[in-house]
């Protein structure tokens, strides 16, 4: 007799983990805007209609924590911070292209 292993909440499949990483307010839009080049917080705030500082900061932090986005401190006067896709983040470009095609 064989028994089926029940997947606990902590053992989600890779697709579920990826969807959880990318779900949330503004994350897909942040990803789209960061595709071309590093982007500043103030630019994201202006370009994402309806966004606010708090939710945008949380989304950026979460994308950084999972390794999809990198924060860069630009040593210019005035000092500013930019956000850019990491190599891991760039590896998701084909996934987003497929989602766009399906949409």
20-76 tens-digit pLDDT = 888 888 999 999 999 989 999 999 999 999 999 999 999 999 999 999 999 999 888
- d(C-alpha 95, C-alpha 101), whole Å: 10
Residue range 22-37, pLDDT digits in tens: 888 899 999 999 998 9
CB 66 within 8 A of CB 22: no
Parse the chain into domains and list their residue ranges: 15-102
Q: Which of 78, 71, 67, 75 is nearest to 57 (CA)?
A: 71
CB 59 within 8 A of CB 27: yes
CB 38 within 8 A of CB 72: yes
Q: Is 42 helix (H, G, I), strand (E, B) or coil?
A: helix
Q: Is 73 helix (H, G, I), strand (E, B) or coil?
A: strand
0.85 surpassed by pTM: no
Q: Is 74 helix (H, G, I), strand (E, B) or coil?
A: strand
Q: How many CB atoms lie within 10 A of CB 76?
A: 7
Give the class (CATH, top level) of 15-102.
mainly alpha
């Amino acid at each position: 007799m064989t028994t089926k292993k029940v997947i606990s909440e902590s053992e989600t499949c890779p697709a579920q983990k990826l969807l959880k990483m990318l779900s949330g307010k503004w994350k897909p839009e942040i990803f789209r805007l960061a595709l071309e080049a590093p982007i500043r917080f103030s630019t994201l705030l202006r370009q994402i209609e309806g966004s606010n500082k708090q939710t945008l900061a949380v989304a950026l932090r979460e994308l950084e924590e999972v390794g999809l986005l990198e924060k860069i401190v630009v040593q210019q006067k005035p000092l500013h911070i930019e956000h850019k896709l990491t190599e891991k983040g760039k590896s998701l470009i084909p996934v987003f292209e497929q989602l766009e095609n399906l949409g």
